[in-house]
Amino acid sequence: MKYFIDLHIHTTLSPCADNDMTPNNIVNMAMLKGLDFIAITDHNSARNVEAVIECARGKGIIIVPGMEVESAEEVHMVCLFPNLDAVYNMEELVQVHLPNLKNDVKIFGAQVIYNSRDEIIGYDDRLLVTATSLSIDRIKASVEDLGGIAIPSHVDRQSFSVISNLGFIPPELNFTVVELSKHTNKVAFLANNPFLSRYMMIQNSDAHHLEDISEAEEAIDLANKSIGDLLNCFQLKNS
């Protein structure tokens, strides 16, 4: 069966996100747009994931626990996990390898933590929008050890992408999926980059504003509507 996805969405925990990106607002907007799966992928943290999951209970939309981790090479990677325990374990590793820099709210914006009622329960004072000391291969291996999938983010962009920063996608890492930006012409981009034909290509919103969350356009075929089937589909692409 076909299910509509947007697997790259930021909450207000990402300082670059709009203040409207609260758990309830995100879930309600995703429902209005007819999405079946969304992933919460804040920069180097998962502290708002549980609140979004609680907001979505009984509403027919599945929240995939995730993070967008920035590697030592300054490459962004969407990391998706089967459950909260797995994403929290990855968060612990990321936090150890995150520089101890204080967030400057005036420059970057606040990093807000919410509960499921959209009440502010705290702020993360450590700067999240920065590179960790984890290499791309270490991130991928760690995510997979936790039963997740690591996806190079927005490979079509001129910054913070594996192609722009390294010039290529290391074949020995055996990525199965890559992400394109929402408004990129997939057919044209693939024609100009034929080496990407070996990968599954998905388009996500990378939403930092409510209106940017994807419409029901990007679909994936799954036997069952479950996180397990979603991750298995990605993991088995090139097996």
| Domain containing residue 146: CATH number | 3.20.20.140
Task: Work out how many domains the chain is built from and give that number.
Answer: 1
Segment 181-202 shows an average pLDDT of 93
Instruction: Calculate what percentage of the chain has a pLDDT beyond 70.
Output: 98
Segment 202-216 shows an average pLDDT of 97
Task: Find out whether 33 and 219 touch, Cβ atoms under 8 Å.
Answer: no
Q: Which domain range does residue 225 map to?
A: 2-235
Model pLDDT, residue 238: 43
**pTM for this model (two decimals):** 0.96
Segment 141-146 shows an average pLDDT of 98
